[in-house]
Amino acid sequence: MVRSEFLLLAVIWIIFSDVPPSTAIRCYKCSLTKTNLYLTETTGLCSEFDYSERFIVDCPESTFCVKKIYQANIAGFLNGTDRFCAFQKYETHKVVNGVWEPRVIIEEPYTENCTVINDHGLKTVWTEECYCKTDLCNGEIHFRDATRYDASIRHQESTQHNGSAGYPEARSPLLLLSTVIILIHIPLIG
């Protein structure tokens, strides 16, 4: 009996010693909506985010985690959050010995920081994107820039007159919210 246990342990050790350690970063994943526009998989809602295992994913095609915060000024401020693995996978082909072979490259286009993205004139939405490089870092990113930006928006609104200056008086909140949700799910270029 001891011999069979030893053999079992030896087989287990051989199997697991041949597996390279995981280099994938682990990130929290949740979104503003249940499904992504481009994927069929469902995602947990960030409004229910609680740092539990159900929000943790391995990101084999990423070296960064992302946290995005959105704010829309539609009959008051509406807020939203997305957490996910950074988009870094680049698929290409290369000729090797006269044959095209597929290649997957994990690019490093990001730096660890937070950036506020202004809509430059719509005055309905802003987005802050934060990129970080350690496991589960997109749960605890602090947003000093967003606080400063929020304060500057509120100051601008309080100092502007109430006229619409070329903007229609009646805006459909549902249309604006739909536009915001669509725009925040379009990947940024460049």
| Beta-bridge mates of residue 70 | 80, 127
CA-CA-CA-CA dihedral for 104, 107, 112, 113, to nearest 10: -110
For residue 113, the model assigns a pLDDT of: 93
* Residue keyed to tokens 């379009």: 186
Greatest mean pLDDT among 35-44, 91-100, 124-133: 91-100
- Summarised one tens digit per residue, pLDDT across range 70-115 is 887 766 677 888 999 999 999 999 999 999 999 999 889 899 999 8
Instruction: Compute CA 164 distance to the chain's CA centroid, rounded to the nearest angstrom.
Output: 34
| Beta-bridge mates of residue 80 | 70
How many Å apart are CA 34 and CA 163, to the nearest integer?
Answer: 38
* Nearest alpha carbon to residue 33 among 187, 185, 186, 136: 185
Count how many Cα atoms sit within 13 Å of the Cα of residue 97 in the half-sphere of its side chain. 0
- Summarised one tens digit per residue, pLDDT across range 58-72 is 999 999 999 998 887
* Residue keyed to tokens 């967003």: 146
Q: Taking the chain, what is the end-to-end CA distance rounded to the nearest angstrom? A: 63
Mean pLDDT of 137-152: 57
Q: 134: which DSSP letter?
A: S
The type of residue at 79 is N
For residue 79, the model assigns a pLDDT of: 80
DSSP string, 71-114: EEESSSEEEEEEEEE---EEEEEEEETTEEEEEEEE-----SEE
For residue 53, the model assigns a pLDDT of: 95
At 137, list the tokens: 């870092």
